[in-house]
Structure 1
Amino acid sequence: MCANITIDIRRHSLAKSVVGFLSGFLEDTTSFNGPPLVLYMMNQGEDKITMRADLVRYFFLGNIATLIIAYFMGSMPIVNFSMYIVASIPAIALGW
């Protein structure tokens, strides 16, 4: 990333699948899924504003899906879920 090296990608659908798999794998194992996606987007030469908007959308939808799956798998009861929502409102307001 510091060297500003770009890789010519010929099969974009395959590259997107690999990046998505790596991102999902890292999310499940380390909760740190951003680097593959950010590096892929930087390699594509997207402008800063578009890239940030795409990342926000990706992480927002991914986190919502994770919460829904956790609820249906029984690892996050709705009682705990509502407590987290109430606790996070001040942090969200402060960050906004």
Structure 2
Amino acid sequence: MNIWIFIIIIVLVILLSVRRTREPIVGICETAIGLDAKKKDRKERILAFLREKGELSNSDIREALEISERSVVRYMNELEKEGSVEQVGDTGRGVTYRLK
């Protein structure tokens, strides 16, 4: 009879440890989903802003969305690759973006 109690305790310990290690993974996945939704929302806001204004610079987008210059560049590169926008100008301060 004592062996069964020992086996039950071992099984419970294993189940509890598996549950504890799974919870952080689920939290990470939820965070990733939230970040993806935030990214999608920002890209949609950029497209809406471009529809409204026609042509925008990085600083226009940065000020409107209150994000870093690097984030603007990253979003605009993604939107260019998706075929939603095109860059006007080569590099630097003269670069603007417009809808394709």
- Shorter-chain TM range is 0.3 to 0.5
Q: Which has the higher contact order (CA 8 A, sep 6+)?
A: 2
Query: Which structure has the larger Rg?
Result: 2
